């Protein structure tokens, strides 16, 4: 995801960008009536982010745009993946990795908070079916975070 200010966009320009890159990008923007001043945009890479069912609010035209992205759709992702393993004759993987944007346990983040319950449970169910173990769980209660976002002191674990 990329956020941009001072975009100076017109609807026709966004339409042209969607025609060129619409299979890969989704552009949300707020410009107002004067395309020569201000403007904000959010560019979403469809290959890396949820891009459907986004609620978009032009809070203050040209200056503030809110996009509420339904991250909990990862529950559907994990359930679909589990179903594929249950109904096909794939070999079970030795490891699983990805940028899932969900953790099973609040201890995997600092400050600690829990993810959408359905998504976390669906991830757990998939992992259990595949017989895979969460590497962080084998650190016991040791908070062995692998990533530190220095600006706001957020810690997380990349398994």
Over residues 62-75, the pLDDT tens digits come to 888 888 776 656 78
* Mean pLDDT, the chain, integer: 80
Pair (26, 95) in one structural domain: no
User: Which residue in this structure is represented by tokens 């173990």?
Assistant: 133
pLDDT of residue 18: 93
Pair (33, 103) in one structural domain: no
Number of domains in the chain: 2
Virtual torsion, Cα 157, 155, 109, 78, nearest 10 deg: -40
Pair (28, 99) in one structural domain: no
Picking from 52, 68, 84, the residue at the C-terminal end of a domain is 68
Pair (52, 105) in one structural domain: no
Range of the domain at 124: 72-156
Pair (46, 96) in one structural domain: no
Kindly state the helix (H) or strand (E) to which residue 2 belongs, with its residue range: strand 2-5
> What Rg, from alpha-carbon coordinates, does the chain have?
20
Pair (78, 151) in one structural domain: yes
**Assessment of whether the complete model's pTM goes beyond 0.85:** no
pLDDT of residue 96: 79
- In this prediction, residues 132-156 reach a mean pLDDT of 64
pLDDT of residue 63: 85
| Of 125 and 76, the one with more pLDDT | 125
Pair (89, 130) in one structural domain: yes
Pair (55, 98) in one structural domain: no
Picking from 68, 88, 115, the residue at the C-terminal end of a domain is 68
Pair (17, 85) in one structural domain: no
Instruction: In whole angstroms, give the CA distance from residue 152 to residue 102.
Output: 19
Pair (33, 94) in one structural domain: no
Pair (143, 82) in one structural domain: yes
Quick check: 102 pLDDT over 90? Answer: no
Best-predicted range by mean pLDDT (26-40, 71-85, 106-120): 26-40
Picking from 19, 35, 68, the residue at the C-terminal end of a domain is 68
DSSP string, 19-66: HHHTTTEEEEEE--S-TTS--EEEEEETTTS--SS-EEEEEETTTEEE
pLDDT bucket at 77, cuts 50 / 70 / 90: confident
Instruction: In whole angstroms, give the CA distance from residue 13 to residue 43.
Output: 14
Pair (12, 58) in one structural domain: yes
């Amino acid at each position: 995801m990329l956020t941009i200010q001072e975009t100076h966009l017109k609807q026709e320009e966004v339409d042209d960008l969607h025609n060129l890159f619409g299979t890969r990008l989704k552009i949300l923007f707020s410009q107002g009536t004067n395309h020569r001043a201000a403007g904000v945009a959010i560019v979403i890479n469809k290959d890396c982010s949820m891009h459907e069912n986004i609620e978009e609010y032009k809070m203050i035209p040209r200056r503030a745009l809110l996009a509420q992205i339904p991250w909990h759709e990862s529950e559907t992702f994990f359930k679909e993946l589990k179903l594929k393993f249950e109904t096909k004759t794939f070999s079970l993987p030795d490891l699983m990795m990805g940028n899932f944007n969900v953790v099973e346990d609040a201890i995997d983040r600092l400050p600690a908070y829990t993810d959408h319950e359905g998504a976390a449970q669906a991830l757990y169910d998939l992992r259990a079916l595949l017989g895979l173990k969460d590497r962080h769980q084998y650190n016991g209660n040791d908070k062995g975070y692998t990533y530190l976002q220095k600006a706001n002191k957020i810690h997380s674990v990349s398994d």
